[in-house]
Structure 1
Amino acid sequence: MSFFDGIPVAPPIEVFHKNALYLNETAPVKVNLTIGAYRTEEGQPWVLPVVHETEVEIANDTTLNHEYLPVLGHEGFRKAATELVLGENSPAIKEGRSFGVQCLSGTGALRAGAEFLASVCNMKTAYVSNPTWGNHKLVFKKAGFTAVNDYTFWDYDNKRVHIEKLLADLEAAPEKSVIILHGCAHNPTGMDPTQDQWKSICEVIKRKNLFTFFDIAYQGFASGNPDADAWAIRYFVDQGMEMVVSQSFAKNFGLYNERVGNLTVVVNNPAVIAGFQSQMSLVIRANWSNPPAHGARIVHKVLTTPARREQWNQAIQSMSSRIKEMRAALLNKLTELQTPGTWGHITQQIGMFSYTGLTAAQVDHLIAEHKVFLLSDGRINICGLNTKNVDYVAKAIDETVRAVKSNI
């Protein structure tokens, strides 16, 4: 007899399960397009040079110690992260209506923000895009939301943002619903609304009295320009919207296992900040109590040192450029092979992911016959492509779509 008898085995988390299958595969030729992490031309993780240099300096700084950070985190990091996403000249910053909360990467920021909204503000209904990042629904349900619904995002037939249905779904959402929006490089589709579409989305959210929760995991990494990647968020701020913004520094700093994140908060009345921060402190206290210092120190030093900031800008431009080159290479090869279907969306998308349009059956075929590993919804990590394997992947896709017909 055990207290734990009868606990069912949960289904595996697909992205990590598929990555494990790849690692355990013994075939001499195999390709990993699963987990969302940047890879170099050689297929290896990349430590940004500016991050390495900063880590060495921090390690040699004898004035630093390992005392606890404040509950809300490293003050300099919080300020720098908030300025990065809102812009140094943001009206919310100038008017003292914004602040940051250091969290455990983007997931921790989502969880802290969701738990605060559910437990303190009694918001219990959320909407996520269909499709969305695989962890969004789980985070909001575990944080206390009783209804996590979908709003239409993707037009599967035309491989574009289905703006008409998206707006209609937001129109139908009950007042005070929390709307989770991807700030840039939508995961998994890689397709973002246009600026005019963002304006329409903002208008509906404002008019219907819905609450905005941005998730931006790829700022700077997506286009190579942090300001361009934050355009939608800054537009919403300019329209007087209150919001919370989950920020991750995993991709754009390569700090995946340091779990560096920030929750930027924008309010309309600075008088509410004291109460907000006190209640958020209790949320953090009950979860991780105090955040870790190392990654926050790295990001803070890089963002606030002009020479290092420029090195970082060059690094994110390099990463985003390689991704764009691989998108073009894959499209060119599929075009050359005259692969059935339409594939122009591959280069219209942005960021590390491409929602290819491949079906679950085609994905199974790719894995079984060609050892090209990807998620069952057809999402691939473009970073897994390089000049040595892109031809192989294109030929594998070509053979697959000819052998396994799509019903879409």
Structure 2
Amino acid sequence: MSAFSEVNYVDLPAVFALSARHDADPHPEKVKLTVGAYRNEAGKPWVLPVVKKAESMLAADETLNKEYLSMGGLQSFTDAATRLVLGENSRLVNEDRAVALQTLSGTGALHVAFQFISQFYPGCKDILVSNPSWGNHKLMIDRLPGVNFVQYAYYDPETMGFDLEGMCRDLEAAQDGSVVVLHACAHNPTGIDPTMEQWLKIAEVCKKKSHFPLFDLAYLGYASGSFDQDAASIRLFADLGFEFIVCQSFAKIMGLYCERIGCMIFAGQTAEISHKCLSQMKIIVRSIYSNPPAHGARIASMCLNNRDMRAEWEDCVKEMHARIRRSRSYLHTALKTANAPGSWDHILAQNGMFSYTGLTKAQCELLIEKHHVYLLKSGRISMCGITQENAKYVANAIHDAILNAKEN
């Protein structure tokens, strides 16, 4: 008898299961609004031209080898990634209080951060996460011994906007010194971001309660098209004297999805504290995967550090941002033209890759089963799946779902 005979099957996360179902669907008008990955106007993956250029240059460089990177990764990449987030003239950088290590994309950065916090953050009992949030946050936090996954108010279903009052209330009620996970920009899954005035109020509550901020930064540049503007929330906390962690992904912003390139930044009160913490984080990396991969990090480093390639990359991010804004406009216009019940202005007001449509579970199920429009049953859609060509079809399907879905 196997020692593992009691192991049960576990369902795939919904986003992967629905994507697989879409891919197997022969329907000619099927639409995929599930996975958060950039698609061009033709609905195809886009390898950034500057990434192709970097790969060609790397392939021609005979000085490169396949030796291991250090546990901390490629320093030319992590240094540049840190300046990208905190600013070229950051006091934290100049005082050597901001340290970083390369990770396996944003997920790896979060995993290392959560492991470090659970081991070394004094009295760590609660990690607070927005309601709703990216599903992987709960998956990781639930596996930390002695740590609770706690949600704070964020999305207001009545206004389909940001619930600042509810968020501040929940942060006030939380145990002092809790860890608070914050989406720096282009909130996943709602696409709703606080204004800078609202960020200041959030920071004031966190300061009053001695909370420790952990920023999830997967979509830098996607919210506004500007790196500086999208990083403003993090820089505000830096200016207010917080210690914090930033978990950064280069999957979306460089199209390096399969290369798994990320960076975790720790900002401490002193350089000594920061470097002590970095040493412990490296040991965590050693215990999991020892050291990160080089190829994607070299691509990212070239795009960050070469002036001409940096400018070309920034243009690519602006193009991706503009394409998503057009997708929002396509869908908004089509919904209005179809006379779909309700107000759809929130589609335009939201930022980044995702939109929280406000559709119910029953409406989403009808969209999938009848119209072959694949989306999460929370009503979250990836705006990259909307094109000028399919916007009318999706809008008409939504109209039908609103009128005909049978609510439980």
Give the 3 Å change call, closer, same or farther, for CA 293–145 of structure 1 in structure 2.
Answer: farther
Q: Which amino acid aligns with 1:372?
A: V
Match of 1:324 in 2: 325
- Alignment partner, residue 11 of structure 2: 11
For residues 393 and 316 of structure 1, what CA distance do their matches in structure 2 show? Answer: 26
> Is this contact kept in 2: 1:120–1:279, CA < 8 A?
no
Displacement of 1:402:
1.2
Identify the residue that residue 275 of structure 1 maps to in structure 2: 276
Tell me how far apart the structure 2 counterparts of residues 304 and 202 of structure 1 sit (CA, whole Å).
32
In the TM superposition, residue 28 of structure 1 has moved relative to its aligned partner by 1.8
For the 8 Å contact 1:126–1:145, the answer to whether it is kept is: no
Change in Cα spacing, 1:145 to 1:389, as seen in structure 2 (3 Å) is farther
Runs of 4+ that moved beyond 3 A: none
Partner of 2:67: 67
Counterparts of 1:9-408 in structure 2 under 5 Å? 9-122=9-122, 123-144=124-145, 146-404=147-405
Residues 98 and 265 in structure 2, CA contact (< 8 A), matched pair in contact too: yes
In 1: Cα distance, 2:116 partner to 2:146 partner: 11
**Worse-superposed segment, 344-353 or 217-226:** 217-226
TM-score by length of 2: 0.98
1:128 aligned counterpart, secondary structure? strand
Distance 2:369 2:279 in 1: 53
2:331 is paired with a residue of what secondary structure? helix
Kindly provide the amino acid, as one letter, of the partner of residue 185 in structure 2: C
Q: Displacement, 1:120?
A: 2.2
Alpha-carbon offset, residue 149 of structure 1: 0.4
Pairwise CA distance, 1:272: 1.1
Q: TM-score, normalised by structure 1?
A: 0.98
* 1:86-131 C-alpha deviation (Å, 9 max, x unpaired): 1111111122110111100000000000100101224231010000
Aligned to 1:4, the other structure's residue is in SS state coil
CA contact (8 A) 2:79 2:100 kept: yes
1:366 and 1:372 in contact (8 A); partners too: yes
User: Larger deviation: 216-225 or 108-117?
Assistant: 216-225
For 2:112 and 2:34, locate their aligned partners in 1 and report how far apart those are by CA, in whole Å: 27
Deviations 1:2-56, CA, capped at 9 Å, x for gaps = 0110111112211000000000111121000000000011111000000000011
* % same residue: 45
Shift in alpha-carbon separation, 1:82–1:143, aligned structure 2, 3 A: farther
By how many angstroms is 1:259 displaced?
0.3
- The one-character-per-residue Cα deviations of 1:68-93 (angstroms, maximum 9, x if unpaired) are 11101111101001011111111111
C-alpha distance in structure 2 between counterparts of 1:397 and 1:5, whole Å: 45
1:201/1:405 CA distance change after superposition, 3 Å: farther
* CA deviation vs aligned residue, 1:170-198 (integer Å, no higher than 9, x gap): 00111121000001000000000111110
Q: Secondary structure at the match of 2:6?
A: coil
Distance in 1 (CA, whole Å) between partners of 2:201 and 2:33 is 34
Asked if the contact 2:100–2:278 (Cα under 8 Å) also holds between the matched residues in 1, the reply is: no
**2: CA distance, partners of 1:143 / 1:297:** 32
Number of matched residues?
A: 407
Contact map agreement 1:71 1:291 (CA 8 A) in 2: yes
Q: Deviations over 1:323-376 (max 9, x none)?
A: 001101111111122211121100000001000001111010001110000001
3-state SS of paired residue (2:135): coil
Mean Cα deviation higher: 76-85 or 329-338: 329-338
Change (3 A) 1:143 1:63: farther
CA 1:340–1:6 in 2, change beyond 3 Å: closer, same or farther? Answer: same
Q: Residues 275-311 of structure 1, C-alpha deviation per residue, up to 9 Å, x if partnerless?
A: 2122111111111110001111111111111100110
SS of 1:142 mapped into structure 2: coil
Q: Which amino acid aligns with 1:358?
A: L
| CA apart distance, 1:142 | 2.1
Gap regions ≥5 residues in structure 2? none
One-letter code aligned to 2:65: N
Number of the residue aligned with 2:2: 2
**Counterpart secondary structure, 1:135:** helix
Q: How big is the alpha-carbon RMSD for the aligned residues of Structure 1 and Structure 2?
A: 1.1
Unpaired stretches in structure 1, ≥5 consecutive residues = none
Amino acid at match of 2:7: I
Deviates more, 1:276-285 or 1:240-249: 276-285
What amino acid does structure 1 have at the position aligned with 2:60? N
- Give the letter for the 2:88 counterpart: E
* Letter aligned with residue 294 of structure 1: H
